Structure 1
Amino acid sequence: MVQTMENNKTNIPEGFQKTEVGMIPEDWEVKPIGATLQIRHGKSQKLVASAFGNYPILATGGNIGFAKEYLYNKPSVLIGRKGTINKPLYMDTPFWTVDTLFYSEVNKEYSAKYLFYNFCSINWYAYNEASGVPSLNAKTIENLLIPLPPTLAEQTAIANALSDMDALIDAQEKLIHKKRLIQQGAMQELLRPKEGWVEKTLGEVLKVQHGKSQKDVIDANGKYPILATGGIIGKANNFLYDKPSVLIGRKGTIDEPRYMERPFWSVDTLFYTSIKEGYCAKFIFYMFNLIDWYSYNEASGVPSLNAKTIELIEKYFPTTLKEQQQIAQTLSAMDTEIEQLETQLSKYKQMKTGMMQELLTGKKRLNLDLKD
C-alpha cells in the first residue's frame, strides 16, 4: 500500500523539506554515499582464477570467470572504476572483483539493495574524470549526496518493492527469449526443403534494388518512413516503393533483414527488393533471416553486400504461393506474440522507472504497518 503526500499552498508540499537533492520527506535525511558505505578497489584475479572455482570473478561487463577464493562475502554495491561506469551491480553472495570494478562495504545501518537502486538512479557519466576511457574516482562517489529513509526497515521495504519489479522484468525477458528460440526452431523446420520444393536463385524470385539519397524528399511532416540499416531515420514526402518488400543492408549492418508492406523510402546503404509474381514477400523475409549474410560479405572494412551476389544465392521454394503464404502466416503469428510480450516488457520497465522516481525520493511512502 502507498500513501500519497498532498501539496499545500506553498511551493513545499506538506510534510516535505527542500534539500540539495530536491524535495524529500521531513523525516528523511541527505547524506554523502560515504556515510553509508566505503568504496573498495578490486584486485587482479591472476592468483585466484580457477576453472573449478566456486566464486564469480566480476568485471565491468559482468562475470568473466571463477575464483577459488572470494574477495568479499557480504551484500555489496559494485560500480565500474574504468570502462563501463554506468551499470551498477548488486551482489549478496561471495565474489571476486577485478581492478576495474569497485565494490563496497556497506555499513550495517543501511540496506545494500536500497543503495544499489540509488546507484542505478545516478547519471554516472556526469562524474566521469577522464577524457578517454570513462573513469570514476572512489572519493567522488563517496562525496555524492543521496536521500535516505529514517529506518532500515523502510529502506528494505523500498528495495523489496523494486526487487519484485526486477523479478517481473526478468521473468518477462526469459519468456521472450524462450519464445524467440521456439520461433527460430519453427522457422528452420518450416523453411527446410520439402518434397516437391524447387531450387531457384533469389534472382529468379526477386530483384534487388538500390536505395537513394533522401535529401530531396526528407520532410518532418512526411507520410513515409525513411529507412536505413539501423531502422527509421526520418520521414519523406514521397515513397520510393509501395509494395511488400524485403530489405537488407548494402553497407554497414548487413545481417538484419527488414520486411515492409507499406510505402517507404530507402537510403543508399539499404537494398530493397521487388518481388516477382507468384512469390510471397513475407516468406522470403523469413528465408532471409536464416541466411548467414556475413559469409557473403565483400569488404575487409565496413561489411558490404553486392546485389548480384544476393541474387545468385540458391534456395528451395514451395511450388505454390498458397504454401508460402501459410508458412509466412504461421511465423508471423509468432512474431505478433513476441511483439506483444515486448510491449508488456516495455511497460514493466516504465513502471519500474516511475517507482524508482517516487520511492527513492519519498514522494510515495510504503505502509510498513500493513499486515498480510
Structure 2
Amino acid sequence: MKKLEQRVPNLRFKGFTDDWEQRKLGDLFVYNRPDKYMVQDTNYIDSGTPVLTANKSFVLGYTNENHTYNKLPAIIFDDFTLENKFVKFPFMVKSSAIKILNSRNDQPMMFMYQLLQHSRFVHEGHSRHYISIVQRKDVMVPDNVEEQKKIATLFSRIQNIITLQQRKLGETVFVNSGKDYKGLQKGNIPVYGTGGYMLSVNKYLSNKDAIGIGRKGTINNPYILKAPFWTVDTLFYAIPQNQSDIEFMNAIFQNVNWHKYDESTGVPSLSKSTINQVKVYTTSLREQAAIGSLLHKIEKTISLQHQKLAKYQSIKKSLLQQMFI
C-alpha cells in the first residue's frame, strides 16, 4: 500500500492534534446492491416514493411501490459516471448501476460524503468503477470520531447556506401536465383550469397538493390546488419535491414575472422545460415552512377581510333599499 505523505490537514479544529490514518474507501464504506430497491414500473406518478438517480436530474419521478431504502442518510453512487448524491429521505432507484453507500463503522455520513467528494478518481469510460477503483482508493481520515463529527457539522451548515443560492424550479418542484376530463363522470373531485374551479368529476389526477400554473392563456396567475384534484390540459400542476414547502413555493411562483417567459407571439404560452429552467432563490426546508406559514396566515386574514367587506357591502345595499324612498 502506497503511503500518503501528509498526515494532518492544513486547516484543523482546535483541540485535535493526532495524525490522520491512511485507510481504503472500501474499509470505510459498505455498499448495498440496488436490486431490492429498483422500481419496476417506470410510468411515474406525481406523488409517493421518489425514484432517484445520481446525476443532475436527481428525482426522476414518484412511485407507489414500497421497496424503499430506509437506512438514512445514505449516498447513491453511479458506478459508471462516478456521480453521487447525499440522500436523507426514503427512496427507490431505477438503474442497476447505482450503489447505495453507508458508513461501515457508523461514522457521520456527511463526513463520509465530503471524503468521497474530495477523493479523485480516474474515469475509465463506460465501465463499472466502484469495486475496481473506488474501494481501493487510499484516503486519510481522523481516527477520532469527534473530529469527524465537527467536520460533518461544518459542512452541513455550509450546505444549508448554499441552499440559499439560486436554483432552478425543476430542482424544487415536479411539473405535471393536465388532461382532458370530458370522458369522466360527475363526482366530487374538483377540476381546475387557468381561471380556477370549473366542475367536479369522479377521478383525480393528483392526490397531493400542488401549484397550478397556466400552460396556455392565463399564465401569470399561479394558485394552490388542494388534493385530490384534476386539471385541464391548459393548466400544469407543480408538486413540491421533498425539500420544498408548498406555501413557500407558491409565493415563489407568485413572484415570477411569467409573461417574461411567454413562448408565443399569440396566446400566452409556457412549457415544462421553460418552467423547470426558471432560476429562483430558496432556503432550508425549516425556514421555508416558517415563511410559508406566515404567508398562509396573512392570506387567510386577507380572505377573512374580503368576506367581511362583502358582508358590509351587502348590508349597505340592503339599508339603502330600506332607508330611502
Structure with higher Rg: it is: 1
TM-score computed with the length of structure 2 as normaliser = 0.49
Higher relative contact order (CA 8 A, sep 6+): 1
